[in-house]
């Protein structure tokens, strides 16, 4: 169960005090038309949320990427990072809440623990699979669960992988893991 799935449940159920306080109007920041469409269907479908463009109308922010602004139509408008930062500054001044749908570079051990609690399993019966050492693997380490690091994702360039068929050298993986202080239990080229 991914981070976005847990957030959808929290927004839908609103049994958490923080999520219960959220209203329906949101500013959506995304990667592209594809990112906007994927997130709309996966995370937001059935939640009766409304995209707004005006900071004066917004009740919370949903950043999913840094390349475009989501439009009420469900499409995305290319937007510069500087312009997105200005929107965030205006929202911060108004103390508007934010749900981060794709929090890479943030350790999310709370999410792993929440997922285990939801399905009633213990750490010994859980394993995290991810391609980001600073996010997926470090979060699993902090939560005390085993992890599988897939090398053909976020860190492919750092590992010197040029094509999908290449396999990372284990010593390179160990060096990179030490650099980020994130240590996977297992290593796979991809999750297929």
Count of domains for the chain: 2
What's the CA gap between 177 and 83, in Å, rounded?
Answer: 35
pTM: 0.52
The residue range of the domain holding 119 is 109-188
- Shared domain for 18 and 58, answered yes or no, is yes
* List of residues 6+ apart from 147 with CB closer than 8 A: 127, 128, 129, 130, 136, 137, 140, 141, 184, 185, 186
What's the CA gap between 65 and 32, in Å, rounded?
Answer: 8
Of the candidates 84, 38, 34, the one whose C-alpha atom is nearest the C-alpha of residue 63 is: 84
Boundary residue ending a domain (98, 123, 153): 98
Q: For every one of its 192 residues, what pLDDT tens digit does the chain have, with 9 covering 90 and above? A: 444 555 556 666 666 676 667 767 777 777 665 544 444 444 555 566 777 788 888 887 877 777 888 888 778 889 888 898 888 888 888 888 877 655 555 555 577 777 787 778 888 888 988 888 988 899 899 889 999 999 988 888 899 998 777 899 999 999 999 999 999 999 999 877
- Shared domain for 9 and 93, answered yes or no, is yes
* List of residues 6+ apart from 83 with CB closer than 8 A: 69
């Amino acid at each position: 169960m991914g981070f976005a799935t847990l957030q959808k449940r929290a927004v839908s159920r609103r049994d958490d005090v923080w999520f219960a306080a959220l209203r329906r109007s949101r500013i959506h920041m995304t990667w592209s038309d594809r990112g906007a469409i994927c997130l709309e269907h996966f995370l937001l479908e059935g939640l009766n949320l409304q995209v707004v463009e005006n900071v004066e109308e917004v009740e919370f922010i949903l950043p999913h990427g840094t390349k475009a602004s989501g439009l009420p139509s469900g499409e995305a408008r290319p937007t510069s990072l500087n312009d997105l930062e200005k929107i965030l500054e205006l929202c911060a001044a108004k103390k508007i809440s934010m749900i981060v749908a794709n929090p890479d570079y943030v350790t999310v051990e709370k999410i792993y623990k929440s997922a285990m609690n939801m399905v009633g399993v213990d750490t010994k019966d859980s394993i995290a699979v991810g391609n980001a050492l600073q996010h997926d693997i470090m979060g699993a380490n902090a939560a005390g669960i085993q992890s599988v690091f897939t090398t053909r994702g976020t860190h492919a360039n750092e590992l010197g992988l040029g094509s999908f068929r290449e396999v990372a050298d284990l010593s390179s993986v160990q060096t990179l893991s030490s650099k980020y202080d994130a240590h996977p239990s297992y290593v796979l080229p991809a999750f297929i």
